[in-house]
């Protein structure tokens, strides 16, 4: 699927949040047209730490390349702040593009950045962010690699300032906009009224976060073109693992949990081990 053409369509695109090759494969098998590689979820699962700017460019790029190797669905990759200044942004864009990103998300937070739904954020001057976005656009090898500009200014400067920043970022030539942590339906409608007719807008749904959680259909009706649930998979996996380990500790066996997990053959079927073995035999 060509992501640029797809987000130009009026129907909403629901991109499943993933954090590694296995979660991406399962999401693709569930039928999602595109996937969102969540920087927060990489921090949760790779570091077992919060989304507070601790992951590095190479760590995220490594996950991205492994995911892109395993799935065909277009990947929206969270590049945080670009991991530095405008020159760092250019390096990040080139490396993420090579690694397989179809769209690269860049945000205007100051370092150290943090999850968009945590308090205490700060943002860089708007002119600095515009420079980073122009650098990102110039760094692309292929114009089909999309740049998504995210602003976190609402929590710092208010809605009007966030919308003004989004206007400035759109004027730089970005392919899509993401106004993070809109607090109400009224704020969502204000963002859509200003931008939905001109550029694809992304809505971020975080369970327990600042933005009221709505369905993709509801958000599409408001005017959003892309909807992500970026951390849901990591939260669901953590919930399941907590129950699994508690059961194993209590019973000394996985038998009581057997109906809630894949067995050996089931997991190998899911990840395609029989096909891999057949290929090995064909070349063997």
Rounded CA separation 282/24 (Å): 27
Residue identified by tokens 């009581």 is: 256
Q: Determine the pLDDT at residue 116.
A: 63
Asked if residue 250 has a cis previous peptide bond (ω within 30° of 0), the answer is: no
Beta bridge partners, 109, equal: 123
The Cα 185–Cα 118 span in angstroms is: 20
pLDDT value at residue 244:
98
Per-residue pLDDT of the chain (284 residues), as tens digits, is 899 999 999 999 999 999 999 999 999 999 999 999 999 999 999 999 999 999 999 999 999 999 999 999 999 999 999 999 999 999 999 999 999 999 999 999 998 887 767 677 899 999 999 999 999 999 999 999 999 999 999 999 999 999 999 999 999 999 999 999 999 999 999 999 999 999 999 999 999 888 999 999 999 999 999 999 999 999 999 999 999 999 999 999 999 999 999 999 999 999 999 999 999 988 87
Total-model pTM = 0.96
Q: What is the CA radius of gyration of the chain?
A: 20
């Amino acid at each position: 699927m060509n992501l640029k053409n797809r987000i130009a369509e009026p129907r909403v695109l629901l991109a499943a949040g993933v954090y590694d090759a296995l979660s991406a494969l399962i999401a693709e098998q569930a039928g999602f047209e595109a996937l969102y590689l969540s920087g927060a979820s990489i921090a949760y699962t790779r570091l077992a730490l919060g989304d507070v700017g601790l992951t590095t460019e190479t760590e995220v790029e490594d996950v991205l390349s492994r995911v892109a190797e395993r799935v065909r669905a277009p990947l929206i990759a969270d590049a945080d702040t670009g991991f530095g200044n405008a020159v760092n942004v250019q390096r990040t864009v080139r490396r993420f593009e090579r690694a397989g990103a179809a769209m690269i998300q860049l945000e205007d937070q100051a370092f150290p950045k943090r999850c968009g739904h945590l308090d205490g954020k700060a943002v860089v001057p708007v002119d600095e962010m515009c420079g980073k976005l122009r650098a990102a656009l110039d760094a692309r090898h292929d114009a089909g690699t999309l740049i998504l500009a995210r602003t976190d200014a609402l929590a710092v400067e208010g809605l009007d300032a966030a919308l003004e920043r989004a206007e400035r970022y759109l004027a730089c030539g970005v392919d899509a906009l993401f106004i993070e942590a809109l607090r109400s339906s009224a704020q969502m409608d204000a963002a859509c009224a200003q931008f939905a007719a001109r550029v694809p807008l992304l809505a971020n749904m975080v369970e327990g976060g600042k933005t009221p959680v709505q369905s993709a259909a509801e958000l599409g009706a408001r005017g959003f073109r892309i909807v992500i649930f970026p951390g849901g998979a990591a939260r669901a996996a953590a919930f399941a693992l907590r129950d699994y380990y508690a059961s194993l500790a209590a019973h000394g066996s996985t038998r009581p949990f057997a109906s809630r997990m894949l067995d050996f053959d089931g997991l190998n079927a899911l990840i395609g081990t029989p096909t891999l073995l057949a290929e090995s035999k064909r070349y063997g």
